[in-house]
Amino acid sequence: MRFAPIFAVLSAAISLSACFPPQTTHPVGTTVGLANDPALVGLWRGKSDSSDDDRDIYFHFLPTLSGTITVVMVQAGPQPDADWSVAMVTTTTLGGNHIMNATMQFADGKADTEDNPHGSIPLLYRFDGPNRIVLYLMDEDETKAAIQAHKIAGTVEPGQFGDAVITASPKDLDAFMATKKGAALFGERFATLTKIE
């Protein structure tokens, strides 16, 4: 297992180190279309739901003409060279499930591709009011169990801490993620974001 800042997902400053969350070899939503979700555009303040670190993290969602969203993330704090990263996100909606596909681009100003060894990291996001969203990561144990039960194609690396990677075709991946079983894999409440502007 490799260890990396969870900020590589969308908030590495929340935790100093963590296992890679489950990844997919294909972005979720390619068969129905990936488009910028205008509801995400703007500046958000984030709070971790999975860490004791109570510092704010600011997320600036910037749409691009290529149909992706650049997310610039900065952790609040007085120290020099505070944690900051950049991720590329695509969004889609399947069966009412709003999903982001996140890939790391930069960490503290340096190009970073090591945090995307298998593809992209899917996150489920739910609106919790007009200016709040909650982000959910795929639960590692539940994802491994689904792969091992052949509910979705994938691989599980050896050992207790082996990474889980969903390798299903785009068609099968999207069909699965549109179901309640697919949405149920996003069981780890990760962060709550409140829109600032």
At 35 the pLDDT is: 86
Write the burial class of residue 158 (CB in 10 Å: 0-12 exposed, 13-18 middle, 19+ buried). exposed
More confident residue, 163 or 89: 89
Mean per-residue pLDDT for 109-116? Answer: 59
Give the span between the Cα atoms of 111 and 89, in whole angstroms: 16
Q: Which domains are delineated in the chain?
A: 3-195 (2.40.128)
More confident residue, 33 or 12: 33
Give the span between the Cα atoms of 35 and 67, in whole angstroms: 5
With a pLDDT cut of 90, the percent of the chain lying above it is: 53
- pLDDT per residue as tens digits for the range 129-159: 889 999 999 999 999 999 999 999 999 988 7
pTM of the predicted model as reported, rounded to 2 decimal places: 0.82
pLDDT band at 160 (very low <50, low <70, confident <90, very high): confident
Mean per-residue pLDDT for 59-72? Answer: 92
